[in-house]
Amino acid sequence: MSEGNVKPPTGPVVAEAHAVDTFHVPQALFAKHPSKPHLDGLDHYKQLYKESIEQPNQFWGRLARELLTWERDFQTVHSGSLEHGDNAWFLEGRLNASFNCVDRHAIKNPDKPAIIYEADEYNEGRTITYGELLREVSKLAYTLKSMGVRKGDTVALYLPMIPEAVISFLACSRIGAVHSVIFAGFSSDSLRDRIVDANSKVIITTDEGKRGGKVIGTKKIVDEALKQCPNVSHCLVYKRTGSDVPWTPGRDYWWHDEVEKYPAYIAPESMSSEDPLFLLYTSGSTGKPKGVMHTTGGYLLGAAATGKYVFDIHDSDRFFCGGDVGWITGHTYVVYAPLLLGVATVVFEGTPAYPDFSRYWDVVEKHAVTQFYVAPTALRLLKRAGDHHVKHQMKHLRVLGSVGEPIAAEVWKWYFEIVGKEEAHIVDTYWQTETGSHVITPLGGVTPTKPGSASLPFFGIEPAIIDPVSGEEIHGNDVEGVLAFKQAWPSMARTVWGAHKRYMETYLKVYKGYYFTGDGAGRDHEGYYWIRGRVDDVVNVSGHRLSTAEIEAALIEHPIVAEAAVVGINDELTGQAVNAFVSLKNGNEVTEQTKKDLILQVRKSIGPFAAPKAVFVVSDLPKTRSGKIMRRILRKILAGEEDQLGDTSTLSDPSVVDKIIETVHLSR
Ligand code: 6R9
């Protein structure tokens, strides 16, 4: 782990939190409910929570049999430990993810809507029933098989938010292939790295994508990446816009030509509970992204259980998660949770600002959405745009979820009052790519909430607040520290692809016997959790998780850059923003173009969403005598806290600090 890794958490102290209001589940939610929430109030939660912690095998064994369909039952609910990093769930059990998401609902009710596709343009969407989904998934599964994909192989997906993305997830899992989704905002370099790391031989993409009225050249980016992926034998292309795209015969295949060759049913592959279901790359405190690996039984149970209890999903619901399938939120709550529970999921291709700031609410109204789930960054944008854009009744809404970053109390209240009309329950869900599903969260229709707090642990999660200095757990309430978990849970990541040692070191060895989240947190006088943000070198920009080290590595790739230091600073709209400091190699002059080139370098190397908001070209960076860059000093300067830099005499050249202050001031 890198320098400054375990910084004491910042943010409001717990004492302030005492003053906040507690919101009870609105009575109107019960009035509009199709039946009633799955649990009868907080005591019922407490009773089940107690069982989940004291008798986890009994609790999870029961839920796994209730929520999933097993082709062969399991005998061992859990084995392994956090200490050894060998956790396994539902051993001996066999099941298939696509069977659980599709077949069992298609058999019962083939005409029930499964996917409500809301295209970028308002009237171009369509609805896909469970029966149709089964046929589409089967045909694609056949296609992948014919391309040589076998059980255990990884398949790269580089797709926009269209139904074919969901179909691709499920087609992979149907034949036992491991999907590795790469967010379609990543650059060709990032895509290449992920294809190579996972050794994917087949990739699925589109000719182009459409988002917010703009066209995205997905196939072009794939072509660029594949120049350096000699092992990719097949590229399957779904025609989204019909534009002319470059074509490599023998490697590129049109989706529509291929799928029509195959029958509309293929039997699902029998998988062991612990077989990998997917890889998803995420940023950590070092430069190289990690391929977080989730397995079948445990992950699916986490998705289904949180879908049921956190979102209070019932049979007739229509679920809308605004997250992209390229991130974990889309994996678990666009695809798996709603489909496992057999309800309709909205796949929204556009943005909240196109054609105007009413778009989300138009979608919610049009499809009578019952649960809506989004990141605070979108809410901040919409709140700022003005309440007049929220002119919709949205009377079916029961649960409004928030995810990805802390939600400020004013934004929380806006969501509750203006979007939910005080009739829907707000759930601020805390979790991570690595946790697979929600870990600290209110339960919809059940848990009283406090704006800004993710509230209480989900079933089976035993949080611990640890003192980052002593490494000891801090017991009792009204405490602050870093957040860890004491017990394994079914949907936790099992490893980092090809790097189990890194998995152990990042999550399980920091505090022995605990899973370390990387976040600071407080536990208030009522046992409610307040997430303070990352204590490592991870920056959260608009809910996108970025590693400062990864951005630094991108900057250093530019031939004129000698050294780079990247820090996250608070930003009103995006939560945090990336600011970069670079020093140039000898002989390189700073020109008007330099900063633009460096920003372009990051866009090219990672993707547009990682581009620094500001670049400061400086003569040297503040370093310790052993050469470690003191990012803390840069953060303080940007925050205008030059008077609180602390002791700078230990720097190898203390005079650089004044020069940096001057550069920052001049550029403002
Ligand atoms: C689901 C997701 C994980 C990091 C996590 C934390 C932050 C997520 C949050 C939250 C405060 C919440 N985070 N949910 N912070 N309140 N409700 O976002 O996964 O992309 O892996 O990011 O996001 O810092 O550690 P991922």
Task: Kindly report, residue by residue over 612-645, the tens digit of the pLDDT.
Answer: 999 999 999 998 777 778 888 999 999 999 888 8
Which of the listed residues 325, 530, 545, 576 should we mutate to test ligand 1's pocket, taking the one with most ligand atoms within 8 A of CB? Answer: 545
CA-nearest residue, atom 23 of ligand 1: 404
Q: Name the phi and psi angles at 640, rounded to 5.
A: 75, 25
What residues in the chain have per-residue pLDDT under 50?
1-18
Report pLDDT digits (tens) over 10-68. Answer: 433 444 444 578 999 999 999 999 999 999 999 999 999 999 999 999 999 999 999 99
CA 17/CA 19 separation, integer angstroms: 5
| pLDDT of res. 2 | 38
| pLDDT of res. 605 | 92
With CA atoms as reference, report the closest residue to 575 among 439, 378, 426, 430.
Answer: 378
Compute the distance from residue 489 Cα to the ligand 1 centre, in Å: 18
Which of the listed residues 540, 541, 574, 576 should we mutate to test ligand 1's pocket, taking the one with most ligand atoms within 8 A of CB? Answer: 540
Strands 463-466 and 529-534: unpaired
| pLDDT of res. 10 | 40
With CA atoms as reference, report the closest residue to 349 among 215, 257, 474, 480.
Answer: 215
User: How many other C-beta atoms lie within 10 A of the C-beta of residue 19?
Assistant: 6
CA 567/CA 565 separation, integer angstroms: 7
Locate the ligand 1 atom nearest the alpha carbon of residue 538 and give its number.
Answer: 24
Locate the ligand 1 atom nearest the alpha carbon of residue 327 and give its number.
Answer: 20
| pLDDT of res. 182 | 97
CA-nearest residue, atom 18 of ligand 1: 404
Locate the ligand 1 atom nearest the alpha carbon of residue 441 and give its number.
Answer: 17
CA-nearest residue, atom 22 of ligand 1: 432
Which of the listed residues 403, 434, 440, 529 should we mutate to test ligand 1's pocket, taking the one with most ligand atoms within 8 A of CB? Answer: 403
| pLDDT of res. 287 | 65
User: How many other C-beta atoms lie within 10 A of the C-beta of residue 417?
Assistant: 12
CA-nearest residue, atom 5 of ligand 1: 432
Ligand 1 pocket by Cβ (under 6 Å): 282, 327-329, 403-406, 428-433, 454, 517-519, 531, 533-534, 540, 545
Report pLDDT digits (tens) over 465-506. Answer: 999 999 999 999 999 999 999 999 999 999 999 999 999 999
Which of the listed residues 299, 400, 405 should we mutate to test ligand 1's pocket, taking the one with most ligand atoms within 8 A of CB? Answer: 405
Compute the distance from residue 394 Cα to the ligand 1 centre, in Å: 27
With CA atoms as reference, report the closest residue to 9 among 476, 532, 507.
Answer: 532
